[in-house]
Structure 1
Amino acid sequence: MTLRRKLLFFPALAVGIAVLFIAIKSRPDVPVKPAQSKARAVDVITLQQSDIAPVVTGFGRVTPKLTWQAIAEVDGKVIYRNPALEKGRVLPAGTELLRIDPTDYQLAVAQAQADVSVREVRLAKLELDESNLKTTLAIEKRRLALSRDELARQKNLRQKGLISQSDLDNEQQAFLSQQTRVQDLEAQLKVLPDEKRITESELEASNLALEQAQRNLDKTQIVLPVDSRIAEVNIERDQVVTPQQVMVIAHGLGAVEVDAQVSIHDMQTVFDTLNGDHSEGFSRKLHQLEASVNLSSGSFKEEWLAKVARLSDTVSLNQATVGVILEIALDEEQKQGIAAQPSLVNGMFVKATIEGKPVAHWVIPERALRGDKIYLLEDGTLKVVPVTILFRRGESVAIAGDLKAGQQLVLNDLLPAVPGMELRAVTLNGDVVENNAVNGEAS
């Protein structure tokens, strides 16, 4: 029994070996996997210049462009106060706000008018006297000529003994009297122009006094010069005002201004976009900049277009900011305060945005910037290039450096980034690269 079991072991072993051999022979060959490339897959875009304008922001408070103060120039009691004269009320130009008692000033006007009339009458009388004196002088000169001739005739008769000496003396006396009369008239005519000049000067002074009295009378009525919003009222009816007292403060509705504080560095970046144009002065260049003012409060947001008017005269050394004066014109609805959105009023804190002129720069996406360096794909390898960041706008960055149009900019963040490492572009400008053999070549 034991011997038979031993003899059966060898046939079973042979069958097992045969089955194992058949299984090995019939097994399919395992495919050989080729060695994978070591090049890193990256996304690239073509580097090129494009026009981009820097945008800077600042903050400031709204102030009215025109502030009008009703300052008393005369004294007296206020006898009228407009019922609509209240803080915050919008009033049209020409509205009478206040009236000061004009009695004393009306009396001064009447007195000045009387003085003017007296001087005018006197000047008219002098002119009439001058005319009469000239006529009288002409007549008296003719009489003097006749008297001279008569005296000469009397002398001739006396020499012939035809008249007495007394008759000659009487004629001589008549001639001298007529000569004296003519001389008096000439003296009066000579003095008359001086009297006229004095009277004319007095008349001019009286007219000036009348104008001053009339101006003082006009100053008793306070009238709003422009459409305005009342900001402050410091007077009531029956109060006595004195000169230089501020009675009312009003803000013009035509436009408002914002003194936006902007970083000096950011503003210099904006100014650099204007330096290429030397045909206009700097103040005119400022008007080429585009600006807007934004008001944000909770869920409410509103924007107004603005104009860069001028630069402030001071620089904040602590904050390193410069003031940029923006001017915002208000439409009629905003002036009256009936617009759908709130109007810009004094004291509002707003955000200002200033945009420079578009200038050609190397512009790359923010995600392609690695600190102060960028990655380029050249000849299938990585090249790290240092750049200077000029400014940012949204997700784009304007840079400067040793760059050429057509170079391929790597968008991926490579860790580690070793210059010269192999790269493989899988997308170019957003499109899938089908032939990787062109990797690293300018498209």
Structure 2
Amino acid sequence: MMKKGALFKTVRVLVVLLVSAAVAFLLVQLRPRAEKQERVSNGRLVETVTTRSQSLPMFVEAYGTVAPREALKLVARVRGEVVALHPNFIEGGFVRSGEVLVAIDPQDYELAVRRTKVGIRQAEADLDRLEQDVLNLDASLELARADMKLALAEVKRLKKLAGKDMTSQSVLDKADRQYLTSRERLQALENQMALIGPNRVRLQSQLEMARVAWEQAKLDLERCRIEAPYEAWVTQKTVEIGQHLSVGQPVGSIYRAGAFDIEVKIPVGDLAWFPDGAGSGEGLKAEVRFSETEPPRIWIGKVARIKAALDQTTRTLPVVVQVDEATGADPMANAAGRMKPGMFVTVRIQGRQVDHVHRLPRHLVRDDDTVYLAVDDRLEIRPVAVLRRFKTEVLINEGLADGDRVITTPISNAVSGMKIRIK
């Protein structure tokens, strides 16, 4: 009985296993078959920007430091004591043209003017006396010539009588002596007349010297007043009231208000962007920007000149830009906003205009001067001609046409003709 029960269990296990295997086989055979599909690529998704040609002015950008166009170091031209100072003659003060900045004691120089005027009158009186002497000599010469003629006629008459033994020799000798005396007197007067010319020159020279001394005295008197030659800002004052000045001693310094020069250095090649016929660059418009304030300050200037020699260190060409500001009725009202010497500024010089150029961000142009274009659904690698490169953009004048779509999406391992999709 035991053997029959064990055999039954074994058969039952075998049946269960066979049934399970059959069911599993049927499930495998009856499962749905997967259809094989080929992989299809629609292309890489990219973004593009459409190009449009423009006409753009070519700007040349450089940097420089503002300097006054005219700066003066004021010095004393006469010696003396300082008796007055202009109230605005202080560092940072503004003075108008013709205003007296420093006054030196004028008393000594006023006396010198009076003394030289007296010298002029004395010289004029000497000349007048000489002219009167000339008139007197002319009258004396007429009398002397008449007297000599009479004496000569008397000698001739007595000689005729002596030939007829009608007069004595002593009378004739006496007439000869009178004639010689008259002749000697005439000669003396003529000698005096001959000296009139040199005396006149001497006295005229004395008069001229007296006038020169008078002019010098007046000039020294004027130099007692040190005036501002133009509207100016005071940068330094080195004198005080009561101080005694010597000739040539500095008293301060000023610079012309509203007139500034900025020297910038540009590469020689950038001269090509100046208009044809403007090789000197004179008159080209320039924008001057001071960026250390908020908002930045901007002035409009012009190119004054291009220097003749290159900078030995940077091998660039110095260009001088002029800026002129109006001072106005109250220059102190805009003291904070005006241009000042020492400012470090950016200068943009407007050059000639270039037509039919395309402007692109610099990162879209590859190192080999090519750009990626979207043509239909394909990528095209197109070479271009770069006209100018800037920090953030590039100007292209050949290789692009209006309506071209430049790919802006970064693509690695790009190949011309690869399939793309435009976002």
| TM-score (normalised: structure 2) | 0.78
Quick one: which amino acid aligns to residue 337 of structure 1?
Answer: M
The answer on whether the counterparts of 1:81 and 1:237 sit within 8 Å (CA) in structure 2 is: yes
The 2-side partners of 1:128 and 1:373 are apart by: 103
Q: Secondary structure at the match of 2:87?
A: coil
Q: State yes or no: 1:373 paired with 2:370.
A: yes
The 1-side partners of 2:46 and 2:295 are apart by: 46
% identity of equivalent residues: 25
Q: State yes or no: 1:355 paired with 2:350.
A: yes
Distance 1:425 1:140, change over 3 A: farther
Quick one: which amino acid aligns to residue 181 of structure 1?
Answer: R
Matches within 5 A, 1:66-85: 66-85=70-89
The 2-side partners of 1:156 and 1:318 are apart by: 109
Q: Name which of 180, 198, 205 aligns with 2:202.
A: 198
Residues 36-76 of structure 1, C-alpha deviations (whole Å, 9 max, x = no match): 7669877474675x432333433333222221222111212
Q: Secondary structure at the match of 2:291?
A: strand
Residues 212-266 of structure 1, C-alpha deviations (whole Å, 9 max, x = no match): 2222222111112211122111000111111221102112114122234x4x43x
Shift of 1:144: 1.9
Q: State yes or no: 1:97 paired with 2:98.
A: no
Distance 1:38 1:90, change over 3 A: closer
Matches within 5 A, 1:201-220: 201-220=205-224
Partner residue in 2 for 1:273: 273
Q: Secondary structure at the match of 1:389?
A: strand
Residues 365-407 of structure 1, C-alpha deviations (whole Å, 9 max, x = no match): 2264223322356798655344453324696522356x47569
Q: Name which of 403, 407, 412 aligns with 1:411.
A: 407
Q: State yes or no: 1:249 paired with 2:253.
A: yes
Query: Mean alpha-carbon deviation: is it higher for 219-228 or for 133-142?
Result: 133-142
Partner residue in 2 for 1:158: 162
Shift of 1:330: 0.9
Shift of 1:83: 3.2
Quick one: which amino acid aligns to residue 397 of structure 1?
Answer: V
Q: State yes or no: 1:303 paired with 2:298.
A: yes
Q: Secondary structure at the match of 1:415?
A: coil
The 2-side partners of 1:390 and 1:342 are apart by: 38
Partner residue in 2 for 1:326: 321
Quick one: which amino acid aligns to residue 89 of structure 2?
Answer: L
Distance 1:360 1:417, change over 3 A: farther
Q: Secondary structure at the match of 2:320?
A: strand
Q: Secondary structure at the match of 2:328?
A: helix
Query: Mean alpha-carbon deviation: is it higher for 328-337 or for 167-176?
Result: 328-337
Report the number of matched residues: 387
The answer on whether the counterparts of 1:273 and 1:359 sit within 8 Å (CA) in structure 2 is: no
Distance 1:329 1:425, change over 3 A: farther
Q: Name which of 396, 401, 417 aligns with 1:399.
A: 396
Q: State yes or no: 1:127 paired with 2:131.
A: yes
Q: Name which of 285, 292, 295 aligns with 2:287.
A: 292
The answer on whether the counterparts of 2:48 and 2:409 sit within 8 Å (CA) in structure 1 is: no
Q: Name which of 352, 369, 386 aligns with 1:389.
A: 386
The answer on whether the counterparts of 2:44 and 2:421 sit within 8 Å (CA) in structure 1 is: no
Partner residue in 2 for 1:10: none
| TM-score (normalised: structure 1) | 0.75
Shift of 1:315: 5.8
Partner residue in 1 for 2:339: 344
Shift of 1:305: 0.8
Quick one: which amino acid aligns to residue 221 of structure 2?
Answer: L
The answer on whether the counterparts of 1:54 and 1:392 sit within 8 Å (CA) in structure 2 is: no
Matches within 5 A, 1:103-182: 103-182=107-186
Distance 1:162 1:409, change over 3 A: farther
Partner residue in 1 for 2:241: 237
Residues 180-237 of structure 1, C-alpha deviations (whole Å, 9 max, x = no match): 1111111111122112222222332332222222222221111122111221110001
Instruction: Provide structure 1 residue ranges, at least 5 long, that are not aligned to the other structure.
Output: 1-23, 25-29, 428-443
The 1-side partners of 2:342 and 2:329 are apart by: 16
The answer on whether the counterparts of 1:337 and 1:343 sit within 8 Å (CA) in structure 2 is: no
Distance 1:406 1:222, change over 3 A: closer
The 2-side partners of 1:175 and 1:413 are apart by: 132
Shift of 1:307: 1.3
Q: Secondary structure at the match of 1:198?
A: helix
Shift of 1:128: 2.2
The answer on whether the counterparts of 1:40 and 1:423 sit within 8 Å (CA) in structure 2 is: no
The 1-side partners of 2:47 and 2:66 are apart by: 50
